[in-house]
Amino acid sequence: MVAMLSGFSETLGSRPGGAAATKTIYLFESPVIAVVDDDGGAQFLFWLPVSVRNVQTI
C-alpha cells in the first residue's frame, strides 16, 4: 500500500456555464499521481521521479 504524502487542489479549465473544473492531485511515495475530478471521476498517472514543484506546475 502506498502512503499519501500530500494533496492539493488546482482549478483546471472550465465547465459549461462558466463553472471551474477543480481537480485534487495526490502525490504518493511511489511514482503514482491520482487526479480526482470534483465530480468523483479519477485517473491514475505514472511519472518518473521529479520534484514536487515541477509536478504542481503541470
Cell for 27?
502525490
Give me the chain's average pLDDT, please.
Answer: 51
Strand-pair partners of 5: none
d(CA 51, CA 45): 15
Mean pLDDT over 25-31 rounds to: 58
8 Å CB contact between 44 and 34: yes
Per-domain residue ranges of the chain: 4-13+20-49
pTM tops 0.85, yes or no: no
Q: What is the mean pLDDT of residues 44-48?
A: 51
Per-residue pLDDT for 25 more than 50?
Answer: yes
Q: Do residues 43 and 35 lie in contact, with contact meaning Cβ atoms separated by under 8 Å? A: yes
Joined grid coordinates for residue 35: 487526479
pLDDT of residue 14: 46
